Amino acid sequence: MSSAPAMEDEAPPRQPTLLQKALASSAGSVITALVTTPLDVVKTRLQTGSPQAIPPVIIRQHQHDGSSSLATKKRHPGMRHKPTSQTWAMLTGHRCLTCGSVIKPAHICFGAEEFRGARRQAAQQPPRATASTMRALLQIGRAEGLRGLYSGLSPTLAMVVPQTVLYFSCYEAFKARLETAGLGQVAAPMAAGGSARVLAVVALAPLELVRTRMQGPRDSGGGGGAPRTLRAALSEAASGGGRALFTGLVPTLWRDVPFSVMYWAGYDTIRRALAARQRRGDGGGALLRRRSAAGDVMAHAFLGGVGAGALATVVTHPFDVVKTRQQLASAPAPPRGAAAATAAATAAPPAERMWPLARRIVQQEGYGALLAGLPARVAKVAPACAIMISSYEGAKHVFAGGAAA
């Protein structure tokens, strides 16, 4: 009696159409871009090693006589919780010669000369590679506002949907062909993901270059608007050849192709483990089993995306640092002065090759420089991967179920 319904339930659902796959792949891309762009800006600034990458925080500190004076406090060694040496020189006995108040253990008094000296010292020191992501986020927000935190948003929005659609469409097509050819359930996603990433990276490389330069500090040729940055890149390509628009492509491929290979391997492993645990009814599987089928798919995809994305981000991060340095180092010099504001950008130096640039960074700044901005990139990429893949898998499941019905 119940065999007919059971056979109907076991009928394989129809595969989503190409349009449905495109909608599924771009479902979370715009939201992800809006949420993670500030973290991308912080990551790019920390990777430059430029003294002006993270602006100093200017605070107003009230003195004991009711007046106020500006003080620069930038989180560098020697300026964290104690006065500078010039301030200590002004202290005699137990009273401050500047304000006359009794000196307490936490007393800091900034005079006019001390303020100027502290500001010069802060401006001359590059940010530490391990600088706090949240602190850098707040400093950029205070100094440059939302416009600074969302630098590069326009090229990001212009590239994220076509790149996502191209990537996931190629991934599904390659994966189906490779599985038909006999490749395993783990090897097929890895090979398909790496191949699809090559096409997506090459196709959108010029927009990636514009975005990185917009997010960089002004002293590194960044910080400009989208039209000015794009005009400078096109002028550079016209004078030096179209190859200039693909500056940073090699380290980008070294970053993104291994990332995709490791991501899909880790994602499928984690997702299959969660699905197997759910079928056994162990722990969290019992909780997930009470949800809808689409909820199960999205929950497994989200957890798999977070874990696999975080691991792949850590492994490939040094190539991201090299890519940022290469793209900003080859940027045209920013115009200086009123007369140069309307002039053409200064010719950019040729881009340094990837491996010599990486060796120079290690020799001059140490291995830690290759990890600059890592917390910001993990905070950006891991949830972005989770949102994208859960939206994609959930939408695919809904479309497939609707088609089958």
Domain ranges for the chain:
3-51+150-404, 57-124
Rounded Cα distance, 207 and 205, in Å: 6
Nearest to 45 by CA among 135, 163, 119, 121: 135
With residue 231 as reference, give the H or E element that holds it. helix 226-240
Calculate the average pLDDT of the chain: 73
Q: Which residues, in sequence order, are bridge partners of residue 61?
A: 69
- Full-model pTM: 0.74
**Which has the minimum average pLDDT: 266-275, 293-302, 360-369?**
293-302
Among 110-114, 149-153, 379-383, whose mean pLDDT is lowest?
A: 110-114
pLDDT of residue 134: 85
pLDDT at 112 over 80: no
Instruction: Specify whether the CB–CB gap between 228 and 280 falls below 8 A.
Output: no
Alpha-carbon span 45 to 142, nearest angstrom: 15
pLDDT at 74 over 60: no
Strands in 63-201 per DSSP E: 68-73, 91-92, 95-96
β-pairing, 91-92 vs 57-62, is: unpaired
Least confident stretch, 116-130, 136-150, 193-207: 116-130
**3-state secondary structure (DSSP) of residue 348:** coil
Q: What is the pLDDT of residues 147-171, one digit of tens each?
A: 889 999 999 999 988 898 899 889 9
Q: Model confidence over 53-64: pLDDT tens digits? A: 776 644 334 333
The second-level CATH assignment, the architecture, of 3-51+150-404 is Alpha/alpha barrel (1.50)
Q: What backbone torsions phi and psi does residue 175 show, to the nearest 5 degrees?
A: -65, -45
Q: How confident is the model at residue 136 (pLDDT cuts 50, 70, 90)?
A: confident
User: So what's the pLDDT on residue 302?
Assistant: 84
How would residue 130 be classed by pLDDT, with cut points 50, 70 and 90? very low
State the average pLDDT over residues 337-364. Answer: 70
Pairing of β 91-92 and β 95-96:
antiparallel
Per-residue confidence at 221, pLDDT binned at 50, 70, 90? low
Q: Using 50, 70 and 90 to split pLDDT, how confident is the model at 347?
A: low
Point out the least confidently predicted range of 58-67, 242-251, 255-264, 294-303: 58-67
Q: Are 200 and 161 in contact (CB under 8 A)?
A: no
